[in-house]
Chains A and B, each alone.
Chain A
Amino acid sequence: MMTIPKSTSGARILTAAAAVSIAAMALTACGGPGTGSAGPSVEAGSGEGTINVWAVDGQAAENDALKKIISSFESSQSKIKVNLKLFPSDQYTKAVNSAAPGDLPDVLDFDGPTLASFVYNGKMAPLKGSVSDATLSNQTDSIKAQNTVDNAAYGVGMMNAGLALWGNKKLLNAAGVAYPTTPEKAWTAEEFTGVLDKLATVVPGGKPLDLSEQYGFAGEWGTCCSAGPVIWSGGGTMLKDNKASGALDSEANVKSLTKFASWKKFTDPNADGLAFTNGRVALSWVGHWTYPTYKALGSDLVSIPLPNFGKGTKTASGTFAWGMGATTKNGTAAGKFLDFLMSDESVHTYTDANGAPPATKTSLATSSLYGPGKQLQLLGDQLSKACGTEDKINDNCVSVTRPVTAGYPVVTDQVGKAEAAIYAGKDAKEALSAAARAIDQNFADNDGYKK
């Protein structure tokens, strides 16, 4: 009796699901084209009044630090007030994407690889003239590379991000493994395989390595922090002259990523995220952000450079930074606020709260964690040996900026997907070539994302 009407309504549920998703696409698409044509029009303004600030709702400690910095800014002078608005982290980029340039605040937070797209869409203003030259020149080279689009600085950063192999000294000693302490002495990929062989005998599960599989390779973690360092260290790049074919699917990348995948047999899947702290693994390939948890190991915690695939160890760098909305009417006041954010005192307050490496030269030198002789000195050193973007890599530099292009979303999606496939056993050449073709097709459709 009810079968017939229900079957069609069932079909409708399905079509509705498909249709709603497309409707959502249509709606969001409408916000995109047509809104970003006008060029940036910053007005210096009076240098007084209230400035609006958008930021990511981060960890509680980070938010508290930011609020503390803002209140000391307000009490340091009487003319400028700050109106802070926090957005949930998973909504933030969407909020900026869907806002028309005219609706953006005077000052906003942004994630490194999204900057090129914001600039492309006419949403960000260059900082020169609003932010002091001293502030701009105090930025570390690695964060400068991230925040520069078409030779103009669009952002300044308080913090950076870096990767390392975290080691458990007790287990390393038990296996008789001597570990490198400077980027120059990094294990070669071959040596690293030997090290894993030795370590496998001393850890309970026989899998001494954690590659942070729990983050999933088929996403930003894959591109930035897993495939990225492997590709760059092997002498390859993801893009060359805005083209992926011939770069991403190069022999060097095939070789490096195949080597990387060969370590799967030594890798603990770390589904519970506790592999390192529970002593199941001796080495953990992850970012600085795990330090607050990993420091439970005390003096047994050591940081080791990632393996060298031929052209020296490499790490990704780059994270959230600050810029100015393209249509701010109060550029002078916004610039003053950014200058204050980049002062040593503000940077220390902020990076002490989240444990990140400072991104200004003076505060990095005096950092209690990353400075000379401190526990995370290696990460600080790596970040100060900046290569800049992929095309500028050489044997001696260490930290590399992710491709600065408005087409980054398709790059990261395809690179991550290819890495996951290779790690699951697919032929590396095949996976990388397919990814390269998909990226090139998308770039061609968008005329290379050139203005």
Chain B
Amino acid sequence: MTTQTQQIQAPTVPARRRSSAGLSGHRFAGPLFASPALLGLAIFLVAPFVLAVVLSFYRVQLNSPRPARFVGFEQYARLFTDPDLAAAFGQALLNNFSFALIVVPVQTVLALALAVLVNRKLRGMVIFRTFIFMPLVFPLALTAVIWRLIYSRGDQGLLNAILGLFSGGTLSSHDWLGDPATALGSIIVMSIWQSVSFQMIIVLAALQSVPTELYEAASLDRASKWAQFINVTVPGIRNTLIFVALITTIFSFRLFDQVYLLSRSGSVDRGSTETVMTQIINTGFDNNNVGQAAAMTVIFMLIITVIAIIQRAAARQRGGV
């Protein structure tokens, strides 16, 4: 940033000013320009994290006249040694990882497929695109109501009704959200449906920036459509695909709304769908146990940081960027 500023400013700033006040201006230009961002980071990232670390060493109860009590590493010790808490936290982490492991590859590939599909120049494509993009526009609270009807057990559930119709009545009464075996899977499907179009839009933009000359050259070489896709399209949008995979991973770990809306409103075993985020909110605000929630947040943050570092290293190797 500093070098850029110097390059731009060099010809325009008069020599006289550059010698005295100008120089110090240059010295502070970087920090000055960065300060709004740094301030934002400090207020919204560093300060809350430091607060979380501090809180995690205390026993703090919301709505309690008791003063906070310093307990050292007790909240952390409980999180790993209390069998109930450790099991629940482990289960929530496992749910997060399973979610990411399925959603990231499936959603990225699906986004690419959809983008290729809607990138064709056919009549009425705008309508098609609109329909694919629509789930993202609706508020999640609204779509959750509809998905509860879809997943509802018995003959009332739309999914069961469809399955029953195609299987001649043999498959008709599964409790998609109520059965711990399928609860997370159901949320995965809904999440992909809801947000794949976001990734699709990004991939679509990248697709449209691949130079058409490359395709022309490839057709002159008599490359098949598939060969063109593998050798022109995919390398052309490689960085975007990496970006999409990264951002989907982030979204996966941030998973909260879908789980909260779908599993709180039905008769669902909460443990089977709980993610770390829902657990933190539950511990902090439903059980009023802020210290414990802070400890969970700190550990979760450390895990995410490690994942981000690994991903960053992997992306740099593969993409060469």
| A residues lining the B interface (CB < 8 Å) | 1-4, 6-8, 10-23, 25-26, 28-29, 32-37, 97, 117, 120-122, 205, 207, 213-219, 268-269, 271-272, 406, 409-410, 413-414, 417, 420-421, 423-426, 434, 437-438, 441-442, 445-447
Contacts and interface: CB of A to CB of B under 8 A. Distances in A.
20 contacts: A10-B247, A10-B250, A13-B254, A18-B52, A18-B280, A19-B48, A19-B301, A20-B48, A22-B48, A25-B290, A32-B63, A33-B64, A268-B154, A268-B156, A269-B267, A271-B156, A409-B288, A410-B289, A420-B269, A441-B82
B45 A15 contact: yes
Contacts of B316: 4
Contacts of A11: 250, 304-305, 308
B45 A216 contact: no
Residue with the greatest number of chain B CB neighbours at <10 A, chosen from A22, A32, A33, A447: A22
Given A17-B254, A26-B51, A120-B65, A410 B287 contact: yes
B269 A442 contact: no
Given A10-B250, A14-B304, A445-B289, 19 more contacts: A4-B316, A7-B315, A11-B250, A11-B305, A15-B304, A18-B52, A19-B45, A21-B297, A22-B284, A25-B55, A29-B55, A32-B62, A32-B64, A215-B265, A410-B288, A413-B286, A417-B271, A423-B178, A424-B178
Contact of B294 (A13, A15, A25): A25
Interface string B55-68: 10001111111111
Contact of B153 (A28, A269, A417): A269
A7 B238 CA distance: 15
Residue with the greatest number of chain B CB neighbours at <10 A, chosen from A7, A23, A437: A7
Nearest to A412: B286
B282 interface: yes
Given A7-B312, A15-B49, A33-B60, A22 B297 contact: yes
B269 A23 contact: no
Contacts of B65: 32-37, 120-122
Given A11-B250, A122-B65, A425-B179, A217 B52 contact: no
B253 interface: yes
B254 A217 contact: no
A354 B175 CA distance: 35
A25 B66 contact: no
A110 B306 CA distance: 46
A219 B286 CA distance: 10
A15 B254 CA distance: 9
A397 B10 CA distance: 89
Contacts of A15: 45, 49, 301, 304-305
A38 to B, nearest CB: 9
Contact of A1 (B154, B297, B301, B321): B321
A3 B315 contact: yes
A215 B268 CA distance: 11
Interface of B: 41, 44-45, 47-49, 51-52, 55, 59-68, 82, 84, 148-149, 152-157, 178-180, 239, 242-243, 246-247, 250, 253-254, 263-272, 277, 280-282, 284-290, 293-294, 297, 300-301, 304-305, 308, 311-312, 315-316, 319, 321
Contact of B180 (A35, A215, A219, A425): A425
A423 B308 CA distance: 39
Given A3-B319, A7-B315, A410-B287, A18 B300 contact: yes
B270 A446 contact: no
Given A4-B312, A413-B282, A421 B271 contact: yes
Nearest to B311: A7
A110 B63 CA distance: 15
Contacts of B266: 213-214, 216, 269, 271
Contacts of A217: 267
Contacts of B153: 269
Residue with the greatest number of chain B CB neighbours at <10 A, chosen from A23, A121, A214, A434: A23
Given A3-B321, A268-B156, A424 B282 contact: no
A12 B265 contact: no
A109 B52 CA distance: 34
B106 to A, nearest CB: 19
Contacts of A414: 287
The 3 A-B residue pairs with the shortest CB-CB distance in the complex, in nearest-first order = A23-B48, A19-B48, A424-B269
A271 B148 contact: yes
A34 B63 CA distance: 10
A420 B268 contact: yes
Contacts of B288: 409-410
Contacts of B308: 7-8, 10-11, 14
B291 to A, nearest CB: 9
Nearest to B294: A22
A3 B238 CA distance: 10
Residue with the greatest number of chain A CB neighbours at <10 A, chosen from B59, B157, B180, B271: B271
